Structure 1
Amino acid sequence: MSEIPSTSRVVIIGGGAVGVSCLYHLAKAGWTDCVLLEKNELTSGSTWHAAGNVPTFSASWSIMHMQRYSTELYKRVGAEVDYPMNYHVTGSLRVAHTDERMREFQRVKAMGRYQGMDIEIVGFDDIKQRYPFLETHDLKGALYDPNDGDIDPAQLTQALAKGAREMGAKIVRFCAVTGVRRDGDEWVISTEKGDVRCQYVVNAAGYRAEEVGRMFGREVPMMVMSHQYILFEEIPELAAWSTEHGRKLPLLRDVDSSYYLRQEKTGMNLGPYERNCRAHWATPDDPMPDDFSFQLYPDDLDRLEWYLNDAVERVPILGTAGLSRVINGPIPYTPDGNPLIGPMPGVPNAFEACVFTFGIAQSGGAGKVLAEWVTEGKTEWDMWSCDPRRFTNYTDPQYCLDKGMEIYGNEYAIHFPRHVWPAGRDRKLSPLHNRMKELGGQFGPYNGWERANWYAHPGDDTSEHSTETFRREGPWLRRVREECHAVRDHAGILDLPGFSRFRVEGEGARNWLLSITTGPIPKPGRIGLAYFADDAGRIVTEMSVMAIEEEAFVLITAAVAQWHDREWLEKQLPKDSTIRITDVTDRFSCQILTGPESRAILAKVADADLSKGWLTHQPARIVGRDCRLVRVSFAGELGWEIHSKVEDTAAIFDAVWQSGTEHGLRPFGMFALDSLRLEKGYRAWKVDLSTDYSILEGGLERFVRWEKPAFVGKSALESEKQQGVRKRFATMTVDAGEYDAPYMSIIWHGDQIVGETTSGGYGHRIDRSIALGVVRTDLAEPGTSLEIEIFGKRHRATVQPDLPLWDPQNERIRA
């Protein structure tokens, strides 16, 4: 056992596959002065009992990147560090029972192809050839992933550990962390063997991450599930087949029945994700023990009976095998099932790489991502899907428990674009929530805030099942169209709680904002969009900057960006600055009133100058309540955002609603807003706007002021402009049929993949399917004919001029 060093550049807490991969990748990046601390032996948490499956399949672009990288690393790392590795790249068959499942497979196949993987959709003859023991009579088809397989988790961890040690990194086992404290700009990590001082610390403590997080004052959003898999004894037919063919069967996933079935030597391994699942260590009566190293829960086979019977019907030879062993161990879950990789919210120089549900498949890529965060302050791929800051203060233990149970029981479920999962709801309610509900609002959560997605009429199908489709058409379609037309012809009002908002004030605030944004900062009384780039010129975020005074501003950004954008601002602030940043998100709410009748509606109730032009703002009073009227509209019509204190919002709404009765005012929801903004080419954060694209690639050069002496990202953008931008943002109309283009649909020009979509939907004012995306620069010219692959079929798309599809001269919005 190694002795603990007194100092280290980075301390990693936790010695599972993820923590060791982080250490390995830090060392690969040249940061060899790092130490990993493990309270027991390496792999003693969830790693030792993990099944070790290594898929690349994911409906998330970034997680697919991460898992793909893992498969590439695992193929070479054993030889690179001279450590034996049982890694079986068997390929996998993922079978489909429904047409919608086949559509999901087609989308993932296209994403995989774009990332360089030969994922295939296969028919029944191919299925039987690859897996002769499979019953296919009730299937629709399957997806074949040649990169899938399984690895020995302990060997993987030890190989990465060996590689890290050989590069100079240290691992100290049987060394529990007992506390942490901040001393100046350093962390002091206390252990049973002494203290170690470090610049950076990483929580990689797996299912114990919550316990470690509390040492930093951080409540890690997580819970722990009991996951079982069953090992079966030898099956003679399987042994004979493997001998004849010299390989294992592909890993089988029956995702609609919710289990995987894998050949294990000459037997099998069945791993269900059962609906009647069980959490552990979730109540005071069931506390996490001080040490659960290399331990398992008691068997609970009754939960698995249906899945076992279904698997036997699918692969009858399984029914001839005896039961060898049941593994029932803890695996952690976040509320959305994705891990936490990135900055620890609110804690300086601390990071998280924890709460991995699929830690073996993702550990290789996770180590790469975490090392980039620590050493460079940014990642190659936009990793918002795993960023710890995506969860904010609504994720209390009950929420984490409810969502973790829901995610586990639906681990293999299709994530439909209009579907809203029911668990963990009503965490944050607008002061207008009950009014919106009475008007027919059908809600979805946005950073915990409930917002109406659409408004149902009596008799509309509002069941959860009705939203389980990729089709454009559903019970919402008619209503969304009506809402869009109301905004176009009369007026609509949208209750929009939860906008993230920060007050920035103090001497030098204007110049500071100029130095961290690409463009100008508005004068008092005006509002403008500001784009923030990283030092590579990539899009970090977008905020509306409202200038209240010369050195006082309110910055408004997406609800879900609250912790991300607040930390970005705080990180850019010089240490000796007197500029104050105050998060006032929870004190205010917002309503969007928009449409050609909106001025007439406001005129009857607002004490304000409604002749003020676009991109202005002013204090006002409505029924004696203070508010701020902001002359902008994400919907692309004449309109105002009405910002008010939470306690004044209901009275203001009631007055505006009453005034609007004779002007055709009706409520509209987030689905309609998405349609309206697509017609204007307005970008959405973390789809159209992400670090996967530079400011120039994102089509945002009009927001760059090259004459500014300096701003973050300027030199990188100047270099990119000089060398030529490789790909550019484009708005396209699509002959899409009944399906609009989902995020990351690939774009073809002839037989070449030339780009990808970032948003897609239907424009109800122009009656066209729209896709926003990024394409090769020479193909971004208006009129260029392209094809977008939507669920396996190519649809003609035409690049449009760099003007809004609706009201291209902005005459309506400026009216």
Structure 2
Amino acid sequence: MTDFPTTARVVIIGGGAVGASCAYHLAKAGWDCVVLEKNELTAGSTWHAAGNCPSFSTSWAIMNMQRYSLDLYSRLAEEVDYPMNYHVTGSIRLGHTRERVMEFERARSMGRYQGLDLEMMQVSDLKDHYPFLETHDLAGALWDPDDGDIDPAQLTQALAKGARQMGARIERFCPATGVSRENGEWIVHTEKGDIRCEKVVNAAGYYAQRVGEWFKPFGGRTVPMAVMSHQYFLTEPVEELEKWTAENGRKLPLLRDVDSSYYLRQEKTGLNLGPYERNCKAHWITPEDQMPEDFSFQLYPDDLERLEWYIEDAMARVPLLGASGVGRVINGPIPYAPDGLPLIGPMPGVPNAFEACVFTFGITQAGGAGKVLAEWVTEGQTEWDMWAVDPRRYTDYTDQQYCIDKAMEVYGHEYAMHFPHHEWPAARDRKLSPVHDKIVEMGGVMGAYNGWERANWFAKPGDDTSEEATHTWDREGPWRVRVQEECEAVRDDCGILDLPGFSRYRLQGEGAAEFLRGLCTGGIPKVGRIGLLYFADDRGRIVTEMSAMRMADDFFFLITAAAAQWHDLEWLQRHMPEDAVFRLTDVTRDFSCQILTGPKSRDVLAAVTDADLTQPWLTHQSAQIDGIWVQLVRVSFAGELGWEVHSMVADTPAIYGKLLEAGAPHGLKPFGMYALNSLRLEKGYRAWKGDLSTDYTLLQGGLDRFVKLDKPQDFPGKAAIQSEKQSGVTKRFVTLIVDAGAQDAPYMSTIWHDGEVVGETTSGGYGYRVGASIALGMLRTDLATPGTELEIDIYGTRCKAVVQPDAPLWDPENERLRA
């Protein structure tokens, strides 16, 4: 076919491995799509990619995606009749420390649950797999039998061939030049003509930010990314390696020395060394150095001096590396999002537009990315919860300097361990509470939540608040005794938590109540009350949770997690009728909040307001503190008597100061997010995108009481929930007490019974009021009965765990909460 297509259901901008995979999977779903590539396929970062294909990740979503990719690649050549150089050599991941070996154990456990054959290795066994390796100063290693390398160009061409066979069109040497919108359709402009389409995908690689600017007039934002220089080199042939390969009939396993930060791979009979150096370099970041209009099949000048330490370290680890000279240096652009993970999913703020871009490891992730993107486009939902890569995880704080600073940090720590109490220091203080300086003055050790700075814990003089102190998986650290003191203050007296950044929306106007009633799974609160609303997708899975504060018949404030700001706003907007009279407004920036909670919180409030403090749990009222308006909401995520004190941002310093002053005689103590997490675990309260995710249905999540199947409205997921109720729920949400030792159970730790995996944890931590390590999780239904004894794999150690009754561990009758 030589005629240029003028219509398609989907247009994909970008013809790298990811764009080709999107086309392959969309075509497989029966959707008509066109790929536009400005040059030849693979002309961007795909052509110079090393092509490594690990399954390893400590992110459940990323591991799912990479696992799928490797399975696809193993059968793709035969399926589309296109030969590919795909070498499954296995890999050895070296660990220098106890902490690194614990990370490996965690990944191994997750991988085994997904069906991957990851195995731990003893140092004494390493030379059997890799005879040229020096094993000094090693603590252990991880073996991944599915790892290897693939030719990126061949992979892309195979995916493209498969897409064409199923009806997709691929237009090479056809740069997209812009987009416009007409009658609810997209018009993608090219030098060869316009294409009208229903949906459009930005898969433009390191050009994704430039392409993204075309969508700003339609509600879009600047794509959060920076472009880094990634450099690796290939040696000349190595005689000893050539001899070993001939004798053994295979290549050496791929080697990753993650503590030194490089990979080393056999390339034919030479070696390929690819470091991720701390002294890294971002490109195209100044007015004088802008991205060219076309950087196809081009590289940056060699800059091997940056790699000197890594080369020397690798030569000490594998002396064979020094047996031959450098044959070729590859120094090319590679895009980085601020957390190093790609952007796959709905384009924030833009209807029927999607992103599949900013891939740092695009070759091993391309197959899974195409699957996920195609599900977003064709079904509006994905098989696995993919919040880890959802573009809406970033909101309005990711200016270009933020993206550059974070990309430099992530690149330089590409193989870093992500410890539970560690906060990355780059690009901080993007969104500050009105009382931020006061919080820091009182000892607040801060963490970033959707860009908002919140206190994680409060240090006292002499406490170690260094970054190094947090490099541990252990519960014990300088924060532990302080978190315990904060929890005890909330238990015995009163605590105050400054909580900026709650996502909140004003929903007001005729029909607002009916809209909410028809969208959520349960009922809505009466005027003057506040209640939890849950929203399901078509499969009955948990999309999100919001608190609804009803001010009048058709007037609500909806409050949700800081991280959910754009996600939840888009969910509501997507379901609003076109002729709606009511209005939905994001007012997140207008308000702030204090959590005042503990048995003496009523006494504190009584000193500063004449509001009716006898109003019951789950009510709210407008009130005055020192002549300033506040909204007092009788709820507490900490599970004690308490209120949320909502105020206008400008008024918050006065309110906070007044509460501190009034609380002093009552033992009022500031507390942080670590304490709040401990307190909510003891009550079994769920956290969004941990305990509450689209990996689980509402019934699995134990949210039956928030589902009203008898209400007349056909809310999303109603039919699926009815069906699940009839057929039986396969998993159940449980609270577990764990004999956990020094570490608490992290997200997605495997739960064992009689030698098999029967579930997974969704969150975990220590409960200081109950004096025990707690895990929340999903468990096979037949085992989800109180008293059942299980085991949880915590960083490689099987720890006894016991299923608890459905009632909360702390204050099971909610007497303190309702006091």
Among 576, 584, 603, the residue aligned to 1:573:
576
Q: CA deviation at 1:707?
A: 1.2
**Identical aligned residues as a percent:** 71
Q: Secondary structure at the match of 1:755?
A: strand
Which runs of structure 2 are paired with 1:678-697 in the superposition (5 Å)?
678-697=681-700
Q: TM-score, normalised by structure 1?
A: 0.99
1:24 aligned partner, one-letter code: Y
Partners of 2:325 and 2:80 in 1: CA distance:
38
- 1:240 aligned partner: 243
- 1:737 aligned partner: 741
Partners of 1:348 and 1:383 in 2: CA distance:
19
- 2:111 aligned partner: 112
Q: CA deviation at 1:3?
A: 4.0
Is 2:525 the partner of 1:513?
A: no
Among 755, 777, 792, the residue aligned to 1:751:
755
Which runs of structure 2 are paired with 1:703-718 in the superposition (5 Å)?
703-709=706-712, 710-718=714-722
Q: CA deviation at 1:4?
A: 2.6
- 1:175 aligned partner: 174
Is 2:369 the partner of 1:370?
A: no
Partners of 2:377 and 2:3 in 1: CA distance:
24
Among 311, 336, 351, the residue aligned to 1:308:
311
- 1:698 aligned partner: 701
- CA change 1:292–1:2 in 2 (3 A) is farther
Cα deviation digits, residues 654-676 of structure 1 (max 9, x gap): 11100000000010000000000
Is 2:659 the partner of 1:656?
A: yes
Among 506, 509, 518, the residue aligned to 1:503:
506
- 2:458 aligned partner: 455
- 2:102 aligned partner: 103
Q: Secondary structure at the match of 1:542?
A: strand
Partners of 2:604 and 2:126 in 1: CA distance:
63
Cα deviation digits, residues 678-708 of structure 1 (max 9, x gap): 0000000000000000000011001111211
Partners of 1:698 and 1:729 within 8 A in 2: yes
Among 599, 616, 621, the residue aligned to 1:596:
599
Cα deviation digits, residues 60-98 of structure 1 (max 9, x gap): 000000000000000000000000100000000000000
Write out the 4+ residue segments of structure 1 that deviate beyond 2 Å after TM superposition.
1-4
- 1:47 aligned partner: 46
Partners of 1:529 and 1:641 in 2: CA distance:
15
Partners of 2:403 and 2:722 in 1: CA distance:
45
2:773 aligned partner, one-letter code: S
Partners of 2:610 and 2:322 in 1: CA distance:
77
- 1:23 aligned partner: 23
Partners of 1:546 and 1:527 in 2: CA distance:
4
Is 2:330 the partner of 1:320?
A: no
Which runs of structure 2 are paired with 1:16-415 in the superposition (5 Å)?
16-31=16-31, 33-217=32-216, 218-415=221-418
Provide the alpha-carbon RMSD of the alignment. Answer: 0.7
1:627 aligned partner, one-letter code: V
Partners of 1:286 and 1:382 in 2: CA distance:
38
Q: Secondary structure at the match of 2:483?
A: helix
Partners of 2:610 and 2:543 in 1: CA distance:
38
Q: CA deviation at 1:514?
A: 1.0
Partners of 1:2 and 1:171 within 8 A in 2: no
Partners of 1:296 and 1:752 in 2: CA distance:
50
Q: Secondary structure at the match of 1:121?
A: strand
Q: CA deviation at 1:326?
A: 0.4
Q: CA deviation at 1:220?
A: 0.2
Gaps of 5+ in 1: none
Partners of 1:2 and 1:173 within 8 A in 2: no
Partners of 2:69 and 2:564 in 1: CA distance:
28
Cα deviation digits, residues 524-566 of structure 1 (max 9, x gap): 1000001000011000000000000011100000001000000
Partners of 2:609 and 2:465 in 1: CA distance:
36
Q: Secondary structure at the match of 2:585?
A: strand
Gaps of 5+ in 2: none
Is 2:723 the partner of 1:724?
A: no
Partners of 1:125 and 1:813 in 2: CA distance:
56
Is 2:781 the partner of 1:777?
A: yes
Is 2:34 the partner of 1:10?
A: no
Q: Secondary structure at the match of 1:607?
A: coil
Partners of 1:566 and 1:583 within 8 A in 2: yes
Partners of 2:124 and 2:26 in 1: CA distance:
46
Partners of 2:227 and 2:641 in 1: CA distance:
50
Is 2:478 the partner of 1:475?
A: yes
Q: CA deviation at 1:2?
A: 4.5
Partners of 1:94 and 1:253 within 8 A in 2: yes
Which runs of structure 2 are paired with 1:788-807 in the superposition (5 Å)?
788-807=792-811
Partners of 1:60 and 1:184 in 2: CA distance:
40
1:774 aligned partner, one-letter code: M
Partners of 1:98 and 1:140 within 8 A in 2: yes
- 1:541 aligned partner: 544
Q: CA deviation at 1:741?
A: 0.3
Partners of 1:721 and 1:740 in 2: CA distance:
33
Q: Secondary structure at the match of 1:606?
A: coil
2:478 aligned partner, one-letter code: P
Partners of 1:224 and 1:332 within 8 A in 2: yes
Partners of 1:3 and 1:172 within 8 A in 2: no
Q: TM-score, normalised by structure 2?
A: 0.99
Cα deviation digits, residues 719-777 of structure 1 (max 9, x gap): 00100000110000000011100000000001110000000000000000000000000
Partners of 1:114 and 1:566 in 2: CA distance:
34
Partners of 2:225 and 2:582 in 1: CA distance:
35
- 2:527 aligned partner: 524
2:737 aligned partner, one-letter code: T
Partners of 2:692 and 2:335 in 1: CA distance:
30
1:159 aligned partner, one-letter code: A
Partners of 1:560 and 1:553 in 2: CA distance:
20
Cα deviation digits, residues 481-510 of structure 1 (max 9, x gap): 000000000000000000000011111111
Q: CA deviation at 1:124?
A: 2.1
Partners of 2:113 and 2:602 in 1: CA distance:
48
Cα deviation digits, residues 386-444 of structure 1 (max 9, x gap): 00000001000000000000000000000001100000100000001001001000001
Q: Secondary structure at the match of 2:736?
A: strand
Partners of 2:635 and 2:364 in 1: CA distance:
45
1:481 aligned partner, one-letter code: Q
Partners of 2:704 and 2:240 in 1: CA distance:
64
Partners of 2:64 and 2:606 in 1: CA distance:
53
1:27 aligned partner, one-letter code: A
Q: CA deviation at 1:247?
A: 0.6
Which runs of structure 2 are paired with 1:543-562 in the superposition (5 Å)?
543-562=546-565
Q: CA deviation at 1:238?
A: 1.1
Partners of 1:122 and 1:428 in 2: CA distance:
44
Q: CA deviation at 1:607?
A: 2.7
Is 2:445 the partner of 1:442?
A: yes
